[in-house]
Structure 1
């Protein structure tokens, strides 16, 4: 198994959403994960700076702060996109978050018309799928609650596993369930069975904020305690 040795990440757009470029070497094939609002230019700069070759775009869920630039990245580099079918419709109509259209328009000076803007090739992922891309093997873990189609992407390098969590779990917090498509009961099941089911040494790379580990969140995240799991 090829290990991840290169990860470039940066917060993009008004929601400061983490976009990740992940590769088995500091040059060559890479994966682009969650290119959101305003992410395209930085993705292009990092690709050029590090001699990377995007092989595909992985989306953790369908909120526009995670997928806004997906079609541009796919079209520019001629690559496919992966998303869970429950969130696929948001590739062309992601403005179901209250105030999102106005927020993007204010931040960028325009708000894109997403009609017919789905990437040319979209693959629908399911729980347990294994995707081989850029020389890496990625496992899909369906993790509904924040949205119906939220997923985690687990990459198993040589030292310890990495999991890209999107907006399911953060350092010290968890994803909102009060937005359209949110489901508190589903989120509680996801946190109990999927997140807390991961090995303690798993590195969590979330959609917002800094990285953490399962052991750290198990010990310190108030939403992952027995009481916290019943508080929302």
Structure 2
């Protein structure tokens, strides 16, 4: 499997490109403001076509370039033929957890971020373009794996707290020499890594390396976040590699040892309302 990353210039949000193999249909995850250029470069370098976009949640810094990426892929003829109901060359489905679907009407307003009086659109330097084919992530995907593009099977776990719809997306992948994974583990020889099976989680802004997503934005809830973190600490295999919405990859095992916010959430298990 191919897993690559590019960074959105605004707030350094991670944008991931996943595909079964070179020349295949790609799933792009969280194309934030300015990420379309890097995502297109990755599509070209691996001769990929854009089959679908997945948004881990609806905050502006993770969704802003979704339609721009689609428009760029259409212009270059890099839209997958027959991708899950999309008309070849004209449309690409954009999936988002249903509780956050409303945010795509105007994510700058629903995210509520301003910097020195500048709105998110000011920071991005571009207006919001609502995806033409925005859809809720399939409900079946919360109980079993679903393929949004061929060969990339995901299963979703709700993880509210950062936003109402924040969700983790788990997948199994056989990977070898992958720079993303160097961040998550200590390797004696990073130039020659045999392929092996990984359990990965695209976890948006739920858990970062040594930190977690903020809960003070509209729709955030600290009590829900504590509950989410306790559930993940209990249920997720420690060997799972987390691919977060910002910063370096990590593992659940590392976060058990080194993330004070996860430790706090586990300690608050019996607290009223937590």
TM-score using structure 1 length? 0.88
Pick aligned residue for 1:29 from 25, 31, 35: 25
Residues 39 and 69 in structure 1, CA contact (< 8 A), matched pair in contact too: yes
How far 1:195 moved relative to its partner?
4.7
Residues 125 and 140 in structure 1, CA contact (< 8 A), matched pair in contact too: no
1:145-181 deviation per Cα after TM superposition (whole angstroms, max 9, x unaligned): 0000000110112412110010000000000001111
> Which structure would you say has the larger Rg?
2
Structure 1: any 5+ residue segments left out of the alignment? none
Residues 172 and 199 in structure 2, CA contact (< 8 A), matched pair in contact too: yes
More displaced stretch, 211-220 vs 122-131:
122-131
Query: Quick one: structure 1 residues 221 and 121, their matched pair in 2 at CA, closer, same or farther if it must change by over 3 Å?
Result: closer
Query: Quick one: structure 1 residues 20 and 216, their matched pair in 2 at CA, closer, same or farther if it must change by over 3 Å?
Result: same
Query: Quick one: structure 1 residues 195 and 156, their matched pair in 2 at CA, closer, same or farther if it must change by over 3 Å?
Result: farther
TM-score using structure 2 length? 0.75
Structure 1: how far apart are the matches of 2:159 and 2:244? 13
Residues 113 and 119 in structure 2, CA contact (< 8 A), matched pair in contact too: no
How far 1:128 moved relative to its partner?
2.8
Aligned to 2:146: 131
Question: Is residue 177 of structure 1 aligned with residue 215 of structure 2?
Answer: yes
How far 1:229 moved relative to its partner?
5.3
Query: Quick one: structure 1 residues 227 and 50, their matched pair in 2 at CA, closer, same or farther if it must change by over 3 Å?
Result: closer
Aligned to 1:225: 263
* SS at 2:26 equivalent: strand
* SS at 1:219 equivalent: helix
Question: Is residue 109 of structure 1 aligned with residue 119 of structure 2?
Answer: no
Residues 141 and 194 in structure 1, CA contact (< 8 A), matched pair in contact too: no
Query: Quick one: structure 1 residues 206 and 51, their matched pair in 2 at CA, closer, same or farther if it must change by over 3 Å?
Result: same
More displaced stretch, 21-30 vs 180-189:
21-30
How far 1:31 moved relative to its partner?
0.8
* SS at 1:193 equivalent: helix
